[in-house]
Amino acid sequence: MTKPYKKSDALYELARIPGVYVPSLYEPLYSNGAFIGLKPRDSSVPERIRKQSADDIEFSTDFIVSPNTLWPDFYFLEISRGCLYNCKFCMLGKIYANRYRSHKTVIKIAEKARELTDKMRLVSATEDTHPEINRILRDLKDMGFQIIVGSQRADWVSDDFASYIDNKTFTVAPETGSDRLRRLIGKHMTNEEIMDAIRTVRKDRLDELQLYLMVGLPNETPHDIEETANLIRTVRTTLDREGYQHLKVRASINCFIPKPHTGFQYERQLTYDEYKSVIDRVRELVGGLEGVEFTTMDEKSVLTQGIVTRGDRRVGRAMYDALKKGDDITAWKSITCNNGSTERLFGRKESQWIAPWSFVDMTTTGIPATYIARVVKGVDYATK
């Protein structure tokens, strides 16, 4: 009979596997309340954790289909991992290599799923960029699936793609209404391409057109805010002119949150009052157009995302304490995290700041540290 592992022995064995991080085997170091690094508690564990990824995602999968979910009776089928693009605000293209499941594997999985449901939700950063997407969609339709997709790259939406999907809400993510700012954040598409995608999609099948937008991006100016409002107005008036008055336009406007491992990880985040002020300005500029609705973040979301995204280990204790106090905005405001004032939490980080995730080596697919340093110094935001 095999002798069972002690937990401590098992943790040490796990820590020796490349890519596995065992927090209890590392001691966090602080100086004047600031995180300055992690120290291995034992010489047998690595000082840095090197990210691992599966190059081959051509495997089948087990799955659960249930009526008791947010998407009742839908099967979620992953057709790719990672992202083809390198938008400077987004983690996805920095931490995951871009990989596709082949048409053959997708259909093989779908055949198993079809025994349980006729509802399919495709999962990908952007389904329309898959090199075999039209063939996949055509064969899924032939199998009798209702097909739903998520947010799409506006510059990739084609007539064939639009004809296969069954969305009642179609979503594109311009991020901003400013072509200039969009170039600076690495999202290389224009307002003209966004409007072309909106003209292409089968609007007679839709109830809602959704725009994913952000405010508070690095280098954003008041004129960029005006451009965002102009884009919302243009979408609404274009739909009205083409006879789609029934189609709701939803502007989902989030606060920019600096993300780990991205070129913007050092950037300042807006406070809630600043964010609300910008939202109020956009609403004013849109001017109460009928058929436009806004979805925005509440104060708790802005605060908690800002704390958790760039926080260190002490965030866990802060979350627990906030939960015990009711998990509302008052509870979160009472929590001191990262020894921090609001400016320490949300302010721009200096180049010598040591990120809590700096011990994770992302160099296999991530953004080079030299590039991040250039961005911190304000050099060449528009580097391709």
| Spatial separation of the C-alpha atoms in residues 62 and 71, rounded to whole Å | 18
The CATH 3.30.750.200 portion of the chain extends over 151-376
Give the residue carrying structure tokens 């979408």.
Answer: 235
Output the tens digit of pLDDT for each of the chain's 384 residues: 466 778 888 999 999 898 899 999 999 999 988 899 999 999 989 999 988 877 666 766 667 889 998 889 999 999 998 888 889 999 888 887 788 999 999 999 999 999 999 999 999 988 888 999 999 999 999 999 999 999 888 888 888 998 999 999 999 999 999 999 999 999 999 999 999 999 888 778 899 999 999 999 999 999 999 999 999 999 999 999 999 999 999 999 999 999 999 989 999 999 999 999 999 999 999 998 999 999 999 999 999 999 889 988 888 888 899 899 999 998 888 875 544 556 677 888 887 889 999 999 886 444 444 444 444 444 343 333
Identity of residue 374: R
Q: What residues have CB less than 8 Å from 344, skipping those under 6 apart? A: 338
pLDDT at residue number 153: 87
* Residue 114: how many other CB atoms lie within 10 Å: 16
Write the CATH number of the domain with boundaries 151-376: 3.30.750.200
Q: Is 142 exposed, middle or buried (0-12, 13-18, 19+ CB in 10 A)?
A: exposed
pTM of the model: 0.86
* Residue 253: how many other CB atoms lie within 10 Å: 21
Instruction: Give me 254's structure tokens.
Output: 């989030």
CA of 231: how far to CAs of 59, 198, 256, in Å?
Answer: 42, 12, 18
Closest residue by Cα to residue 79 from 55, 107, 40: 107
